[in-house]
Structure 1
C-alpha cells in the first residue's frame, strides 16, 4: 500500500486510500464503487441486499482490473454490526480514509393530512439510524487516518419541505444535523490546526442513471444529478483540504 497521504497525490487520485461505501447496492453505489476503484482506492462496500451488492462489486472489479473491491452484507440498523464492519476494515487494510453513506429510500403522501407515520418510522431507520450508526462506528478510524472523509448524500427537499414529503424531509434534515455535529467534532479534534477528517453533505434534487433514462425516454430529469457525476464529486472531496470541506453543504443541483 502507498506510504503517501491518500488523496494528496497527483490529480487528487486515491492511490493508497481505503474507502468504505454503505448502501453500495443501488445505482449510485455501483457508480461510486467504479469511480473510487478507478482512482486507485481500496473499496470496501456494504449493503443489506447481498445480490445487488455482489453485482456492484463484480462490476467495479471488472471495469478496473487489479482493483481491490470487497463486499460485506451488513445490517446498519444494528450499531454492533456497523462497529464490527469498521473494525474489520481498519484491521484488514490498516486504515479507513472514507465512509460514503448512500443508504436511501423514499416514502410520501398526496397531502400533509394523509401523511402516514409508518413512513416516518421506516425513513427514520433508513435515513437517520444508518447515519448515526456508521458515523459512530467510523469516526475513530476516519480521524486516525489523518485525511478522512465522511460523506452524506442529502436532498434539496430537506431545506424546502413540501406537504406530501414531511417524513422524508424531516429524516433528511435530521441526517444533515447529525453529520454537521460530526463535522464539529472533527473541527474540535483539530484544535488550532486542521481537522483530522471532514464530514461533508452533498445535496441533490434527485438521482438519475442510464437504466432510469431508458425506462422514461421522454423525461427531462431537470436538476437531477447523474450517479456518475455524484461519484466524481465524492472522489474530488479528497483533492481539497479537510478544513475546506468539513461541515459544508455542497450543492450538486441549483440551490433554491
Structure 2
C-alpha cells in the first residue's frame, strides 16, 4: 500500500502503525531525512512532491516497471491554515491547503489502472467533520476537504462502474475517514484502514467512516 504524505507528523505515525501490522508500505513524501526513519522501520520509500503531476506519474511508471503492485492508497497529505473569519481566508492559505487536493487527484489518477486491476484495492482519505459544519474561520479548509471527499466518491463510483462493465464482483473500495482533529488518532486511522480489507468492497465503497467506529452512508 502507498502512504501519500508519509513524512507529515500523521504520516509518520500511521506508516509506522501499518508497518507494525505487517503491511507492505510504500512511503512517499518530500523529506529524505524523515523517509529514512520509515525505511529503517521497514518501508519502501520514495521522495516526491505529490502536488507535481509529472513526478507522481513518473513514480507510478517506475513502480510498474519494477513489478511493484499498489493495491492500496492512504492519503495523508494535509495541513491546517485558518482563522480570522471569512475575511481572514487568504489566497495564500487556500493555495497551501489546495496542495492536498491536488496531490489526491494526481495519485488516484496515476495509480487508477493498478488499483482497478487489484484483487482487493482500498483507497482512503482523512477528511474533517468541518465538511458537515463549516465555519467562517475555516472556510478554505472545509472547502478543500469537501472537494477531496467529492473526488474520493468519484473514485468509488469509478470502481463500481468498472466492475459492472466487466461483469465482475466489486473488489475495490474508496472510503472517506472523518475526524475532528487527526492528532492523537493516527494509529486509529491506520487500524481503520487495515480493517477495510476485512470487509466486502461493496459494504464500504463510497462510505464516510467515523474512525471512532460509527459508519454513515456516503
Q: TM-score, normalised by structure 1?
A: 0.78
**Paired residue for 1:221?**
none
Query: How many aligned residue pairs are there?
Result: 213
2-structure distance, mates of 1:196, 1:88: 25
Q: Which runs of 4+ in 1 moved over 6 A?
A: none
1-structure distance, mates of 2:64, 2:196: 21
Partner of residue 36 from structure 1, selected from 18, 35, 41: 18
Partner of residue 248 from structure 1, selected from 203, 207, 210: 207
2-structure distance, mates of 1:208, 1:120: 21
**Paired residue for 1:107?**
81
CA shift, 1:31, in A, is 2.5
Partner of residue 123 from structure 1, selected from 75, 81, 97: 97
Per-residue CA deviations over 1:197-244 (Å, capped at 9, x if unaligned) read 1111111111224xxxxxxxxxxxxxxxx2111111111111111111
2-structure distance, mates of 1:31, 1:236: 17
Q: CA RMSD in A?
A: 1.9
CA shift, 1:26, in A, is 2.3
1-structure distance, mates of 2:8, 2:89: 26
Q: Give structure 2 stretches of 5+ with no counterpart.
A: none
| Residues 1-256 of structure 1: pairs in structure 2 closer than 5 A | 19-58=1-40, 60-61=41-42, 69-125=43-99, 127-191=100-164, 192-209=167-184, 226-253=185-212
2-structure distance, mates of 1:139, 1:195: 15
**Paired residue for 1:213?**
none
CA shift, 1:93, in A, is 4.2
2-structure distance, mates of 1:36, 1:88: 23
Does the aligned pair in 1 maintain the 2:196–2:204 contact within 8 Å? Answer: yes
Q: Give structure 1 stretches of 5+ with no counterpart.
A: 1-18, 62-68, 210-225
Higher Cα radius of gyration: 1
2-structure distance, mates of 1:136, 1:177: 15
Does the aligned pair in 2 maintain the 1:33–1:57 contact within 8 Å? Answer: no
Does the aligned pair in 2 maintain the 1:153–1:203 contact within 8 Å? Answer: yes
2-structure distance, mates of 1:165, 1:71: 33
Per-residue CA deviations over 1:66-122 (Å, capped at 9, x if unaligned) read xxx111111111212111222222333442110111101111022112221221122
SS at match of 1:146: coil
Q: Is the deviation greater in 239-248 or in 91-100? A: 91-100
2-structure distance, mates of 1:121, 1:94: 33
